[in-house]
Amino acid sequence: MTDLFMNTYHRLPVTFVKGEGAWLSDVNGNHYLDFTAGIAVNCLGHGYPALVKAISAQAARINHVSNYYQSDVSLAFAEKLVAACAPAGMQKVFLANSGAEANEGACKIARKYSFKKYGGGRHRIVTLKGSFHGRTITTLAATGQEKFHQNFGPFTEGFLFVPPGDIDALDRALDPSSVAGLLMEPVQGESGIIPQEEAYIKAAARFCADRDILLMFDEIQCGVGRTGTFLAGEAYGVKPDVVTLAKGLSGGVPVGTVLGGKKTADVFEVGDHGSTFGGNPLAAAAGLVVLDTVQKPQFLQEIRRKGDKIQEILRSWNHPKIREIRGRGLMIGVDITVEAWPVLEASLAQGLLILSAGTHTLRFLPPYIISDNEIGQALNILQQVL
Ligand SMILES: *Cc1c(COP(=O)(O)O)cnc(C)c1O
């Protein structure tokens, strides 16, 4: 059956049919503890009752409305999402379906903002080495990892990369005569869970504000509560001009959003951008449940507590194969001295699902609803495997 799929993924030999809470079951009735949440997507776990109810009820009501008209549930979702991102200065949203599509929208906003104000030539977008921004030609161009740049050129022009953490290099790269925007993940996901230094983010925000370069946060993996604040950028106390969200925002239903603030909310005009499925009522109904749940201070505090607990347990092992433990909230990367993939496979065989990032980093993105008991179980398995 796998021969039917184009050969894009290195898939493990397990077929899931059902999920409940932090657990998944395969076709043979085996159970697995989920420390991946579908790569930060199933943030409320599997079969979360309010989410199931909202999606089912919406499916029975109406499940697509074209962009010729309006949808009550998309409007309610947009209102709640913009309110959730208002502390970061966000005022309006464009609804799409995936992370890459959201970042494409952000790049278009940066280009147009600059073009309208300064004319052509100021079209460059700076991104970070090690970043991941998506798989379309433009978002691949934005992705600061060589391995993604083979075979698919020519790419969209105008992206340049800076080493994360190097404030001088950033200062030089953010040339106000040629650069429209800076796109960055406050906590890099695919490259191994790398939170940016506060001084770096603060400097980036200052350079961008002084030079009228748009500061754009890709919070597709680190947003929606993952790090213990609704937006990961909140922890740095800076206000971006654009935020992109996707993955966990609708708890498992495809979604992607671009949010804009004072400078950017009105950059797009009628006819500038669009998306057939964007604002889909099923995704919106699901997103409302995620927003209602995740935004509660008590819920966010639990994410931080559980994340700290995982890191504490990992550190307490003093394990000779663990080199470094990083992360915020329930977004944790562990550098190990051995290859990550065999650890992944051995964990799977023991009933634990984990992710890797690169060759020597384990990545944990458990659902927010994971219990202390389940954390203990998962880490016991991992300790044995290591
Ligand atoms: C996953 C991811 C994307 C791409 O999202 P898709 O929905 O796969 O297009 C972009 N940026 C970051 C930070 C991501 O983690």
Is the per-residue pLDDT at 95 higher than 90? yes
According to CATH, the topology of domain 52-294 is: Aspartate Aminotransferase; domain 2 (3.40.640)
Is the per-residue pLDDT at 121 higher than 80? yes
Is the per-residue pLDDT at 331 higher than 80? yes
Q: What is the mean pLDDT of the chain?
A: 97
Angstrom distances, CA of residue 171 to CA of 120, 165, 200, 353: 22, 11, 11, 41
Burial of 211 (0-12, 13-18, 19+ CB in 10 A): middle
Q: Determine if ligand 1 sits within 6 Å of the CB of residue 100.
A: yes
Residue 244 Rama label (left phi>0; alpha psi -120 to 50; beta):
beta
pLDDT tens track for 195-204: 999 999 999 9
Task: Say if residues 186 and 222 touch (Cβ distance below 8 Å).
Answer: yes
Q: Determine if ligand 1 sits within 6 Å of the CB of residue 361.
A: no
Task: Say if residues 363 and 192 touch (Cβ distance below 8 Å).
Answer: yes
**What is the rounded average pLDDT of the residues 242-252?**
98
Distance of CA 39 from the midpoint of ligand 1 (Å): 10
Q: Give me the pLDDT at residue 342, please.
A: 97
Taking only Cα atoms into account, the Rg of the chain, rounded to an integer number of angstroms, comes to 21
Is the per-residue pLDDT at 1 higher than 80? no
Task: Say if residues 215 and 205 touch (Cβ distance below 8 Å).
Answer: yes
Share of the chain above pLDDT 90, in %: 98
- Is there a shared CATH topology between the 2-48+297-385 domain and the 52-294 domain? no
**What is the rounded average pLDDT of the residues 352-370?**
97
Q: Give me the pLDDT at residue 2, please.
A: 59
Task: Say if residues 82 and 259 touch (Cβ distance below 8 Å).
Answer: yes
Report residue 184: phi and psi, to 5°.
-150, 150
Q: Determine if ligand 1 sits within 6 Å of the CB of residue 217.
A: no
Give the C-alpha separation, 35 to 29, whole Å: 19
Residue indicated by tokens 């663990």: 322
Longest dimension (CA), the chain: 61
Using pLDDT thresholds of 50, 70 and 90, give the confidence band for residue 216: very high
Distance of CA 86 from the midpoint of ligand 1 (Å): 23
Distance of CA 319 from the midpoint of ligand 1 (Å): 32
Using pLDDT thresholds of 50, 70 and 90, give the confidence band for residue 3: confident
- Ordered by start, the domain boundaries in the chain are 2-48+297-385, 52-294
**What is the rounded average pLDDT of the residues 37-66?**
98
Is the per-residue pLDDT at 149 higher than 80? yes
**What is the rounded average pLDDT of the residues 337-347?**
98
Q: What is the CATH number of domain 2-48+297-385?
A: 3.90.1150.10
**What is the rounded average pLDDT of the residues 297-303?**
98
**What is the rounded average pLDDT of the residues 361-374?**
98
Task: Say if residues 12 and 346 touch (Cβ distance below 8 Å).
Answer: no
Which residue puts its alpha carbon closest to atom 8 of ligand 1?
99
pLDDT tens track for 160-174: 999 999 999 999 999
